[in-house]
Amino acid sequence: MTSLLCDIIQAASLQLVTITENPQREARLLMAHALKTSYEEIYFANDRHLTADEKAEFNRLLKRRLNQEPLSKIRGYREFWSRKFCVTPDTLDPRPDSETIIQAVLDHFQDKTQTYRILDLGTGTGCLLLTLLSEYPQATGVGVDISEAAVLVAKENAHNHHLENRVSFIVGNWGDALSATFDIIISNPPYIATYEKLSKEVASFDPFLALFAGDDGLKCYRALAMQIPNLIATSSKAFLELGADQASDVIRIFSDSYIYEFYRDIQNFERCVILSRKTKPVK
């Protein structure tokens, strides 16, 4: 059988066509990972002949992808807000939808010189918190996750982005271990109903605890509604990611205590709810 790189890419693309809209791109990404080189370098290596070991490694990776394991889990990282974050089977993959939270925060807190205190509840990889700390160079942050394994990944990402001196991570249940208040609170909580059917890429390779939130998908919002009053100051805001079509259900949980607005994603879904404390009327 051929060992020519371009032929191997083409054959892999024909197999990948059943599981992805970009089979050739994914084949090239797998090849780059197998050869420990860049995606761009693969374009100039069509006439390269792979060694037996290189071909075996590529086929091993291809087999994993054909089993619908996400590329990010195979390669060990995913990009978010143009930054690279380590991912493992213990963490939810960062997704473009969650960038809506970043944009919402930046629009509401436009002074990047301030020493904001930022809290991330359910931090996972830490991508949300670490991205905001990169955008606000004087800010500090705390990330909380119930998964010790996820916290280890978040710490690794903090180190990789040279932010370990401005952030701390805690293993805990939401804000139970915290007594301070924060200027900015962010969270991408689990919000999928337990009965909902998911693709194999998600259901088999993202952690259950990071996906599902009870029979109606609202369990974690109810928990956050009990926690946020102790963590949010008068001038603070909380930014919570929402599942598609969850806006009205979620706001019923929070509307008695908060002024709220929605922030839409690029597909025009109400993807983020922004909560501010209601001020008591002066008598």
Q: What is the pLDDT of residues 156-181, one digit of tens each?
A: 999 999 999 999 999 999 999 899 99
Q: Which residues pair with 12 in a beta bridge?
A: none
* Contact assessment for residue 3 and residue 13, using Cβ atoms and an 8 Å cutoff: no
- Which residues lie below 8 Å from residue 112, measured CB to CB, with a gap of 6+? 135, 136, 137, 138
Residue showing tokens 């291809």: 62
Which element (helix H / strand E) includes 196? none
For residue 125, the model assigns a pLDDT of: 98
Q: What is the pLDDT of residues 95-142, one digit of tens each?
A: 999 999 999 999 999 999 999 999 999 999 999 999 999 999 999 999
* Contact assessment for residue 246 and residue 143, using Cβ atoms and an 8 Å cutoff: no
Average pLDDT in the 217-237 region?
A: 94
What 3-state DSSP class applies to 236? strand
Q: What is the pLDDT of residues 183-206, one digit of tens each?
A: 999 999 999 999 999 999 999 999
Instruction: Please give the domain boundaries of the chain with CATH numbers for all domains.
Output: 5-67 (1.10.8), 78-277 (3.40.50.150)
Q: Report how far residue 90's alpha carbon sits from residue 53's, in angstroms, rounded to the nearest whole number.
A: 29
Q: Report how far residue 65's alpha carbon sits from residue 202's, in angstroms, rounded to the nearest whole number.
A: 13
Over 50: is that where the pLDDT of 282 sits?
A: no
- Which residues lie below 8 Å from residue 274, measured CB to CB, with a gap of 6+? 104, 108, 237, 238, 239, 260, 261, 262, 263
> Average pLDDT, whole number, for the chain?
94
Tokens read off for 15: 């197999």
Over 60: is that where the pLDDT of 274 sits?
A: yes
